[in-house]
């Protein structure tokens, strides 16, 4: 197990280093002068030159890369060009929105997906299965931002139960903050749940057709135990894979939902930073997302090993 883990960690580290080089180079090539964007159309050349100097944009590229990487290693992600505050603080504020939102959405989608998937698999071919999977098919097809707008008009404009968007901050109290995240979490979770439910169902069905299930049933084991104990555990590997992918998506790919609910999350931060050419923020956020995806993958790998003991000793 230790060797398995060490190998996964080493791969993760290499991924991070390669990613940092790629991210930095790509953003260097992108056209656009952050100083010009800040000072606008009336800027005088000397004011521009002063600002470029202040921002450290005149130093050689390799030096800036090394500065950046060595800074990150000790937790210093640099200072935002547009917001004049440290990148790590900006990210910190946004993670407090994005991470709870991603976790809420993930829990919601997993609970729904596993119950629906198992329910449908156990009733394969019966009307309940057809109906549930039909609904899931619609869920996969619905764009989440459109679904989000429906939720807003129903619960915020018409019923006025929750705010139409925005995030009051955790300082305003736990309940108002959670309340602001409920609709976005539901909007994010349902399409994900639909996908996951389909995966769960087909993985379950595959396992249910295996010989050992028939053997277990044949020796008189109750149907429920076979389903939950033998089948589910073996069906979890593909489910975990999708779950890992979904968590990465929920953390990084929620920009559209963040826009619809005007939530100050990571997606908005990076989108805004790109349009402002606030490259140091883009680089910082992208690296954080790469790191979190690497971490999630490691966790998923560990999850595989827990579910399937054979993986722990292989190679």
Partner 1 sequence: MKTIKSIIGGAALLLATGTAVFAARTDLVVGVVLEPPHLDPTASAAAAIDEIVYANVFQGLTRVGRNGEVVPSLAESWDVSDDGKVYTFKLHKGVTFHDGSAFDAEDVKFSLDRARAEDSTNAQKQLFTAIDTVEVVDPATVKVTLKAPQGSFLYNMGWGDAVMVAPETADANKENPIGTGPFKFDSWAKGSAVKLTKNPDYWGNAAGLDKAEFRIIPDAAAAIPALLSGDVQAFPQMPAGDALAQIESDPRFTVKIGATEGETLLSINNGKEPFNDIKVRQAIAHALNRDEIVAGNGSGYGTPIGTHFSPANEAYVDLTGTYPYDPAKAKALLSEAGYPDGFTATLKLPPPPYARQGGEVVASQLRQVGINLEIIPVEWAQWLEQVFKNKDFDLTIISHTEPNDINIYARDDYYFDYNNPAFKEVMNTLEATADPAKRIELYKTAQKIIAEDAVNGFLFQLPKIGVWDAQLQGLWENSPIQANDLTEVRWAD
Task: Name the site residues for partner 1 (rule: CB under 8 A).
Answer: 30-33, 36-44, 46-47, 50-51, 54, 82-85, 90, 93-94, 145, 149, 152-153, 156-157, 160, 163-167, 169, 259-265, 268-269, 272, 275-277
Q: Which is nearer to partner 1, 156 or 311 (CB)?
A: 156
Residue 276 beta carbon to partner 1: minimum distance, rounded to whole angstroms: 7
Q: Which pair of structure tokens corresponds to residue 257?
A: 């939902």
d(CA 183, CA 187): 6
d(CA 296, CA 44): 48
Residue 53 beta carbon to partner 1: minimum distance, rounded to whole angstroms: 9
Residue 52 beta carbon to partner 1: minimum distance, rounded to whole angstroms: 10
Residue 223 beta carbon to partner 1: minimum distance, rounded to whole angstroms: 47
C-beta contacts of 128-134 below 8 A and 24+ residues apart: 132/197, 133/197, 133/198, 133/201
Q: Which is nearer to partner 1, 120 or 152 (CB)?
A: 152
Q: Which is nearer to partner 1, 278 or 301 (CB)?
A: 278
Residue 246 beta carbon to partner 1: minimum distance, rounded to whole angstroms: 24
d(CA 251, CA 289): 8
Question: Dihedrals φ, ψ of 264, to 5°?
Answer: -80, 70
d(CA 139, CA 133): 9
Q: Which is nearer to partner 1, 39 or 237 (CB)?
A: 39
Distances, alpha carbon 286 to alpha carbons 88, 137, 281, in Å: 12, 32, 8
**CB neighbourhood size of 262 (10 A):** 12
Q: Which is nearer to partner 1, 51 or 133 (CB)?
A: 51
Residue 57 beta carbon to partner 1: minimum distance, rounded to whole angstroms: 13
d(CA 229, CA 125): 22
Q: Which is nearer to partner 1, 5 or 156 (CB)?
A: 156
Residue 262 beta carbon to partner 1: minimum distance, rounded to whole angstroms: 5
Q: Which of 97, 107, 66 is nearest to 247 (CA)?
A: 107
Residue 117 beta carbon to partner 1: minimum distance, rounded to whole angstroms: 32
Rg from Cα positions in the chain: 24
Only one residue has tokens 């100083």, namely 35
Q: Which of 47, 29, 27 is nearest to 38 (CA)?
A: 47
Q: Which is nearer to partner 1, 89 or 210 (CB)?
A: 89
Q: At what angle do helices 174-208 and 232-252 cross, to 10 degrees?
A: 140
Q: Which is nearer to partner 1, 212 or 262 (CB)?
A: 262
Q: Which pair of structure tokens corresponds to residue 182?
A: 């409920």
Q: Which of 183, 180, 189 is nearest to 96 (CA)?
A: 180
């Amino acid at each position: 197990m230790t060797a398995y883990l060490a190998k996964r960690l080493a791969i993760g580290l290499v991924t991070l280093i390669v990613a940092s080089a790629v991210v930095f180079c790509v953003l260097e090539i992108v056209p656009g002068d952050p100083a010009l964007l800040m000072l606008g159309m009336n800027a005088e050349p000397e004011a521009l030159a002063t600002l470029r100097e202040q921002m450290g944009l005149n130093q050689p590229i390799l030096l800036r890369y090394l500065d950046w990487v060595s800074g990150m290693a000790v937790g210093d992600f640099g200072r935002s060009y547009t917001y004049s505050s440290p990148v790590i603080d900006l990210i910190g504020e946004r993670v407090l929105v994005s991470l709870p939102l991603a976790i809420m959405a993930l829990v919601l989608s997993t609970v729904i997906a596993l119950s629906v998937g198992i329910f449908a698999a156990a009733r394969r071919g019966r009307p309940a299965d057809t109906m549930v999977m039909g609904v899931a098919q619609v869920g996969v097809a619905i764009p989440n931002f459109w679904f989000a707008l429906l939720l807003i008009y129903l619960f915020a404009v018409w019923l006025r139960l929750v705010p139409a968007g925005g995030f009051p901050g955790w300082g305003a109290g736990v309940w108002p903050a959670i309340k602001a995240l409920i609709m976005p979490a539901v909007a994010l979770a349902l399409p994900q749940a639909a996908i996951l439910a389909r995966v769960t169902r087909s993985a379950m069905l595959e396992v249910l057709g295996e010989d050992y299930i028939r053997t277990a049933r044949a020796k008189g084991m109750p149907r429920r135990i076979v389903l939950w104990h033998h089948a589910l555990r073996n069906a979890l590997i593909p489910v975990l894979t999708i779950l890992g992918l979904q968590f990465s998506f929920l953390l990084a790919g929620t920009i559209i939902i963040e826009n619809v609910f005007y939530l100050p999350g990571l997606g908005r931060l990076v989108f805004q930073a790109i349009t402002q050419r606030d490259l140091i923020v883009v680089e910082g956020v992208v690296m954080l997302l790469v790191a979190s995806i690497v971490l999630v993958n490691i966790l998923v790998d560990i999850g595989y090993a827990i579910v399937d003991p054979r993986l722990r000793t292989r190679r």
